[in-house]
Amino acid sequence: LVAGEASGNVNEGDIRRIQIRETINSHFDKEEKLFEQGIKCLSLFFIDEVAKYRDYSQPDEKGEYARIFEEEYNLYLNEMLDLDETAYVKYLKGITAEKTHSGYFSIDPSITKTGENKGLSDDVDAYDLILKKKEQLLSLEEPVRFIFSHSALREGWDNPNVFVICFLKHPDYNNEVTRRQEVGRGLRLSVNKHGDRMDHPSIVHDVNVLTVVASESYKDFV
């Protein structure tokens, strides 16, 4: 095969799975180095439909992306757990796939858990953690490391420790400003667990590196 060719049927679901897999791989690679420096590593997924992540018609409320994430995360995690018992591997053992991802959507935190809104209390908890409790989110004791967002731009959300951004959405080909704003969610100097900004000249360019996982439609923008 040469670049741009595919063998067999390749649908959008396959592409999204590969993107999620690559995001997880990149996250682990960065996190292992950052962990030693006391820096919490976060990865951000931009999605175009809330139902792809949180499906209220399902008993466990998991959407397609949530299921794919947990499958791929566990595959990679099992490889990591076969390695020597370092402090980082012990850290990973204490976090389940189900607990390490959360969704952030533009919702009204006053929503009650009745009728059509049944199940949304979990959304409110996630909303508060991601939007309001930045210090908790940046703590290594907090298991959430992967965030699925439908509305990070609309809410003006950003976090200094986003090291990987994945675009699981159809791009807005004509809106370069939006693309710049989306990438900008990961273009901030990170902080360690003590709240110290990682801006020392000797390390600033080694620590603060953003990886973007996108489809080939991003070629012209890049």
pLDDT digits (tens, 9 = 90+) for 135-158: 899 999 999 999 998 876 666 677
Q: What is the pLDDT of residue 196?
A: 94
* Residues 6 or more apart in contact with residue 163 via CB below 8 angstroms: 27, 30, 31, 34, 41, 42, 43, 186, 190, 209, 210, 211
Any bridge partners for residue 146, and if so which? 43, 101
Q: CA 88 to CA 39: how far, in whole Å? A: 12
Q: In this structure, which amino acid lies at residue 3?
A: A
Q: Show the CA angle centred on residue 221, arms to residues 69 and 159, nearest 5°.
A: 50
Percent of the chain with pLDDT over 90: 52
Residue 42 has pLDDT above 90, yes or no: yes
Pairing of strands 162-168, 211-213: parallel
Mean pLDDT of the chain: 85
Q: What is the pLDDT of residue 49?
A: 86
Residue 22 has pLDDT above 90, yes or no: yes
Percent of the chain with pLDDT over 70: 86
Q: CA 149 to CA 168: how far, in whole Å? A: 10
Which tops the pLDDT comparison, 102 or 11?
102
Question: Three-state DSSP class for 21?
Answer: helix
- pLDDT confidence bin for 217, thresholds 50/70/90: confident
- pLDDT confidence bin for 173, thresholds 50/70/90: low
Q: Show the CA angle centred on residue 123, arms to residues 143 and 99, nearest 5°.
A: 20
What is the radius of gyration, based on Cα positions, of the chain? 18
Q: What is the pLDDT of residue 3?
A: 73
Which tops the pLDDT comparison, 171 or 205?
205
Q: What is the pLDDT of residues 102-141, one digit of tens each?
A: 987 765 444 444 444 444 446 777 878 887 888 899 999 9
